[in-house]
Amino acid sequence: MKKGKIAFFVTGNADKYQEARIILSEPGISAAMLHLEISEIQADDIDRIAEASALEGAKKSKMPIFVEDAGLFIEALNGFPGPYSSYVYRTLGNQGILKLLKDVAKRNAYFFSVVAFCDSGKPYSLRCFNGKVNGRIALKERGRQGFGFDPIFEPSTKPTLTFAQMTPREKNKYSHRAKALRKFAAWYIQKHAKLNL
């Protein structure tokens, strides 16, 4: 595998970018943050949102780019906040979610991430990669690392800690985003290897 590949990550979220940068650096991909105004669509399906954003990103930048979209799906709340996790985090925050789950015993939830890559050639070609992590919503916020709903999410694979109690490196062992990004990275490296034969 050759070193020195660059991948352009269209995002306005510096925390996401930091996570992606570390994960993609493992197989030798340099991630560059590209800030573009993208109009996300409303859909209950994160795959569709990510695909539409990637297509718009590639059209606007005229470059091959990728985006990442993720959501927290809480079983007792019929999947809420799901695709609207970022808006719900901004308005209700972790305390709002804890209030909605007050006296609720069934606290199962999962994080789901979709990485969508779009080539800039015509026709535009899309590839999606996803990652999921099962877990539970904690009884209260714990930890100060990570971002978003991390302080209230305990992954099943390490249920004693919330994501916010883990170092970035430890969170990347379990997280939905890391899983999706690693699938993307494997494919991206392969694709470049073929082009550089």
Helix, strand or coil, per DSSP, at residue 12: coil
Closest separation between CB of residue 181 and its own copies, Å? Answer: 22
Q: Does 49 participate in binding its own copies (rule CB under 8 A)?
A: yes
Q: Any catalytic annotation for residue 69?
A: yes
Specify the 3-state DSSP secondary structure of 180.
helix
> Which of 27, 79, 143, 168 is the binder for its own copies (CB under 8 A)?
79
Interaction between residue 43 and its own copies (CB under 8 A):
yes
Structure tokens belonging to residue 32: 């560059």
- Provide CB contacts within 8 A for 102, sequence distance 6+: none
Q: Minimum distance between the CB of residue 11 and its own copies, rounded to whole angstroms?
A: 15
Q: Does 33 bind its own copies (CB under 8 A)?
A: no
Stretch that binds its own copies, among 11-19, 75-83, 165-173, 185-193 (CB under 8 A): 75-83
> Site mask, its own copies, residues 50-69, x = CB under 8 A?
--x-----------------
Listed in sequence order, the residues at least 6 apart from 21 whose beta carbon sits closer than 8 Å to its beta carbon are 31
DSSP state for residue 117 in the 8-state scheme: E
Residue 108 makes contact with its own copies by CB under 8 A: no
Q: Catalytic: which of 44, 45, 47, 69?
A: 69
Does position 105 bind its own copies by CB under 8 A?
no
Distance in angstroms (rounded) separating the CA atoms of residues 191 and 186: 9
Contact assessment for residue 99 and residue 152, using Cβ atoms and an 8 Å cutoff: no
Q: Which is nearer to its own copies, 16 or 171 (CB)?
A: 16
If binding is defined by CB under 8 A, does position 143 make contact with its own copies? no
User: Which of 139, 135, 172 is closest to 154 using CA atoms?
Assistant: 135
Instruction: Give, for 67, the enclosing helix (H) or strand (E).
Output: strand 65-74
Amino acid at 118: C
91 binds its own copies (CB under 8 A): yes
* Catalytic residue set: 69
Residue ranges binding its own copies (CB under 8 A): 39-44, 49, 52, 77-84, 87-88, 90-92, 96, 99-100, 102
